[in-house]
Structure 1
Amino acid sequence: MDCVKIGQLIAKLRKEKKLTQKNIADALGIQSKTVSKWECGLGCPDLSLWPELSTILGVDMKQMMEGEITSNKPDSGNIDKVRFYVCPTCGNILVSTGSASIFCCGRKLERLLPKDVSDAIKITVEEIDMDYFITFDHPMTKEHYISFVAYVKTDRVFLNRLYPEQSPTCRIPMNKGGKFYVYCNQHGLVVYSDQALNQAVKR
């Protein structure tokens, strides 16, 4: 470990959080002079302190131990590059509009990669007022269910959360030119084009 780099990073992150050395020390149950030594590069935190220290400073522990935080490229604002993540532990659904390091329950999550629509869940679409009412041919059991559906268009993401044993239906705005995503906990993420939605509409 490069104690000088790590110390400089700890000092930087601490100041960003508007914390004093005493605040850090009290939270970790150590003396303020110990934190001062870290920031001066005269030593590194004990291994037992890293998990809590990274939580206090709000950063990834691995990157902090390397003394350098890797920044993502600036978000271009292109909603077409939306990425979905699902935590395998708690089931949280997270969304980013570009490259990102996403963590949940202590794990780094990998983005969900959409599968070809030929493997998709069969859908039936009805036009109601200005919405699509979509019904999925899906069992929706406790072991096998759709976790979420999302419609992505221009600058918006319409996200619907579904639950086991719930009716396999959702309602989304009738906007042309978007993409419709469905995530099943067993079969993964599927994307439908606007054309595929139109073809599924009951005539």
Structure 2
Amino acid sequence: MDCVKIGQLIAKLRKEKNLTQKNIADALGIQSKTVSKWECGLGCPDLSLWPELSTILGVDMKQMMEGEITSNKPDSGNIDKVRFYVCPSCGNILVSTGSASIFCCGRKLERILPVVSSDAIKITAEEIEMDYFITFDHPMTKDHYISFVAYVKTDKIFLNRLYPEQSPTCRIPIAKGGKLYVYCIQHGLVMYSDKDLNQTGKA
């Protein structure tokens, strides 16, 4: 470990949080001079303190231990680069519009890569007023169900959460030129183009 780099990072993060060395010390149950020594590069935190210290400072523990926080590229504003993440522990659905470090339940999540429209999930789309009413040919059992459906167009994401034993349907606003993403816990993330959403045919 590079104690100098780590100490400089701890000091920077502490000041960003408007915390004093005493605030950090009290939260960790140690003396203020210990925090001061870290920030001067005269030693590194004990391994047992890292999890709580990273929580207090609100950063990834691994990057803290390396003494450097990796910044993502600025969001280009292109919603077409949307990325989806699903926590394997709690099932939370997270979305980013560019490269990002996403964590949930203490784990770093990997982006779910979509596959282009396949036979895994058959869909039927009907136009009702200003919406698409979409029906999925899917069992929706506790062990095999669609977790979410998202429609991405220009600067908007319409996200529908579905649950086991629920009717396999959803409604989304009609917005020509978008992409439909369907995430099944067994088949993964399937992407459909706007042409797949039609009144009479099936994808």
Helix, strand or coil at the partner of 1:74: coil
Deviation string 1:139-197 (CA, Å, 9 cap, x unpaired) is 11111110000000000000011111111110000110000000000110000000011
Find the aligned partners of 1:96 and 1:46 in 2 and give their Cα distance.
34
8 Å Cα contact 1:126-1:201 kept in structure 2: no
1:173 aligns to 2:173 (yes or no) = yes
Cα shift at 1:7: 0.2
Task: Work out the CA distance in 2 between the residues paired with 1:109 and 1:2.
Answer: 27
Alignment RMSD: 1.2
* Contact 1:138-1:168 within 8 A present in 2 as well: yes
- Note if 1:115 corresponds to 2:115: yes
Moved over 3 A (4+): 199-202
The answer for the alignment partner of 2:184 in structure 1 is 184
**TM-score, normalization by structure 1:** 0.97
Residue 199 of structure 1, CA deviation: 6.3
Aligned to 1:21: 21
Q: CA deviation at 1:118?
A: 2.1
Q: 1:119, CA displacement in angstroms?
A: 3.5
1:81-160 paired onto structure 2 within 5 Å: 81-160=81-160
Contact 2:127 2:199 in 1 (8 A): no
Deviations 1:81-118 (A, max 9, x none): 00000000110000000011111111111101011312
1:127–1:201 Cα contact (<8 Å) kept: no
Other-structure match for 1:50: 50
Q: Which residue of 1 aligns with 2:35?
A: 35
Q: Which residues of structure 1 form unaligned runs of 5+?
A: none
Q: Which moved more, 1:24-33 or 1:112-121?
A: 112-121
TM-score (norm 2): 0.97
Partner of 1:7: 7
Aligned-pair identity (%) = 90
The 1-side partners of 2:134 and 2:201 are apart by 9
Deviation at 1:20, TM superposition (A): 0.8
Hey, what's the Cα distance between the residues in 2 that align with 1:135 and 1:125? Answer: 6
